[in-house]
């Protein structure tokens, strides 16, 4: 169990293998859960509007966990957050696998929300502390995450066709090897507490111009992910498609996000503002169009892929831009801050859709309205990431 004492520690091949293995396994398990949970809810008899509220519950603990992580990173290593996240994800799957009572849904989603917060903020911060440029490190992480989110839905679709409960237990079991690989990650020391002797430090990290720009980008990517996690499987099955098809569509969306992550570096060269506008327009425009086309797999798949590319660009560039806007000792706080933007979006999006379903003629229209509304701030961003005050 290696340890590192500064933010410029190298990323040796062994560490790369361990970190990417941990990310991959967590993402496979999470990808399975995101397909299965909404389907378990509908199988248990919950109404379409209620699914958004049940899935959105996870964002409550995401918001709470991410909001407190900045201070906690001054006390605990990033490896600790990753380890805790793996345990929480396994517990969330097991609880819902045992019973589909309302309390189990709530508990499971609260645990999953905390797992997402600790894992993604922890791993993003972990990988940018090595010597690679932030965009490159995060792109590699997002590609690995994307591959896991490709494999997970496919597994969920195949296994879930015979037993949704079995799929949940297998997802929980996949976290076991991830715990082992996590245990051998480099233990980067907690961040030094930010100095308070400059005017710059009097402005909270989340209010710095660059971090806010990154936050709105993360918020739009979060809206896209919130729709995938809540209403995409339900919309597809309601349109008459099978559970394996729903799993394949989720995998397609994650493949597109992987492509978006891979092209994030060249997209960054066109400038922050254009990157934000392009990524947001693709993400919200694509997913809004897809919502109306779910009965027709080919056009729905095309627009879903387009939306995923946009989301991949946003979720890669957002954290990278946030780390560029602050000093090295505040990177953890910056990433946690934009994670809070994302978590709020993950709460607002499915719950907003769930509320509108009761007053609008279709879930597709509700999905489109909420997606576009959440994406507007990122498309209107000033695009400056240099301001630390």
64 occurs within a structural domain: yes
pTM recorded for the entire structure:
0.73
| CA gap 77, 332 in Å, rounded | 11
pLDDT, residue 41, reads 86
| CA gap 269, 97 in Å, rounded | 46
The count of structural domains within the chain is: 1
237 occurs within a structural domain: yes
- Return the structure tokens found at 159: 């296994």
Q: Which domain holds residue 244?
A: 3-191+205-379
Q: If we measure between CA atoms, which residue out of 354, 346, 303, 78 comes closest to residue 189?
A: 78
388 occurs within a structural domain: no
pLDDT, residue 193, reads 62
pLDDT, residue 131, reads 62
User: Is the Cα dihedral 297, 299, 304, 309 positive or negative?
Assistant: positive
198 occurs within a structural domain: no
What burial class does residue 45 get, using C-beta atoms within 10 Å of its C-beta: 0-12 exposed, 13-18 middle, 19+ buried? Answer: exposed
140 occurs within a structural domain: yes
351 occurs within a structural domain: yes
163 occurs within a structural domain: yes
- Return the structure tokens found at 224: 């896209």
CATH number of the domain residue 169 falls in: 1.20.1250.20
What residues pair up with 4 in beta bridges, in sequence order? 188
| CA gap 97, 105 in Å, rounded | 10
Mean pLDDT by groups of 10 residues along the chain of 389 residues? 46 78 95 88 80 77 80 83 95 93 91 91 80 72 84 88 93 95 84 56 69 87 85 83 84 88 83 86 92 91 94 86 76 78 82 85 87 86 51
In 237-385, the DSSP E strands lie at none
80 occurs within a structural domain: yes
From first CA to last CA, the distance across the chain in angstroms is 38
């Amino acid at each position: 169990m290696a340890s590192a004492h500064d933010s410029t520690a190298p990323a040796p091949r062994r560490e790369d293998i361990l970190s990417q293995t941990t990310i991959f396994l967590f993402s496979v398990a999470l990808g399975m859960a995101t397909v299965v949970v909404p389907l378990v809810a509908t199988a248990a008899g919950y109404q379409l509007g209620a699914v958004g509220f049940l899935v959105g519950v996870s964002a409550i603990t995401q918001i709470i966990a991410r909001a407190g992580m900045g201070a906690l990173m001054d006390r605990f290593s990033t490896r600790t957050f990753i380890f805790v996240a793996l345990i929480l994800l396994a517990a969330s799957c097991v609880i819902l696998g045992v019973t589909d009572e309302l309390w189990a849904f709530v508990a499971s989603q609260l645990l999953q929300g905390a797992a997402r917060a600790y894992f993604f903020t922890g791993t993003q911060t972990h990988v940018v502390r090595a010597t690679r440029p932030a965009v490159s490190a995060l792109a590699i992480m997002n590609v690995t995450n994307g591959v896991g989110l490709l494999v997970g839905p496919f597994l969920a679709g195949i296994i879930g066709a015979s037993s949704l409960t079995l799929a949940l237990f297998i997802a929980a079991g996949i976290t076991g090897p991830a715990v082992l690989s996590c245990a051998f990650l480099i233990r980067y020391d907690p961040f030094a507490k930010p100095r308070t002797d400059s005017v710059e430090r009097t402005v909270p990290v989340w209010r710095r111009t660059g971090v806010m720009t990154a936050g709105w980008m993360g918020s739009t990517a979060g809206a896209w992910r919130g729709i995938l996690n809540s209403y995409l499987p339900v919309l597809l099955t309601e349109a008459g498609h099978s559970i394996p098809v729903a799993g394949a569509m989720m995998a397609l969306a994650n493949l597109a996000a992987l492509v978006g992550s891979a092209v994030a570096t060249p997209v960054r060269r066109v400038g922050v503002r254009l990157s934000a506008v392009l990524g947001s327009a693709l993400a919200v425009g694509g997913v809004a169009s897809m919502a109306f086309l779910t009965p027709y797999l080919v056009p729905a798949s095309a627009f879903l892929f387009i939306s995923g590319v946009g989301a991949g660009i946003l979720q890669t560039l957002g954290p990278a831009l946030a780390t560029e806007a602050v000093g090295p000792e505040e990177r953890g706080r910056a990433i946690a801050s934009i994670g809070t933007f994302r978590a709020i979006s993950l709460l607002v999006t499915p719950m907003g859709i769930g509320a509108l379903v009761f007053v609008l003629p279709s879930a597709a229209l509700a999905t489109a309205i909420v997606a576009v509304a959440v994406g507007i701030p990122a498309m209107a961003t000033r695009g400056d990431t240099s301001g630390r005050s």
